[in-house]
């Protein structure tokens, strides 16, 4: 056990990192659900549609972008 482990800053960072990892994991599950939704809607176009096609595209691209950013941040935090 190093001296740095006893500092409150390292514990706070650890809690923040764990919270960020959990948020990222949750978002990745939402991305997986969106992928399943896209597959189901491709076979049955009348079911589960949003208001417009543009809204669906913005929603999915926003999810993917948020997942990419969060995964990148978590990976960067693991390298420090």
pLDDT one digit per residue (tens) for the chain, 80 residues: 555 555 555 556 688 888 999 999 999 999 999 999 999 988 988 887 778 889 989 999 999 999 999 999 999 988 87
Q: How high is the pLDDT of residue 15?
A: 86
Q: How high is the pLDDT of residue 46?
A: 82
Interaxial angle between packed helices 53-79 and 8-43, expressed in degrees from 0 to 180 and rounded to the nearest 10? 150
Question: What is the 3-state composition of the chain as percent helix, strand, coil, each rounded to the nearest 5?
Answer: 85, 0, 15
């Amino acid at each position: 056990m190093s001296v740095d482990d006893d500092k409150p800053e390292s514990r706070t960072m650890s809690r923040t990192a764990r919270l960020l990892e959990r948020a990222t994991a949750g978002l990745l599950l939402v991305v997986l659900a969106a992928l399943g939704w896209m597959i189901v809607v491709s076979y049955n176009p009348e079911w589960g549609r949003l208001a417009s096609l543009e809204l669906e595209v913005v929603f999915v691209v926003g999810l993917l972008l948020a997942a990419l950013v969060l995964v990148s941040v978590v990976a960067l935090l693991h390298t420090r």
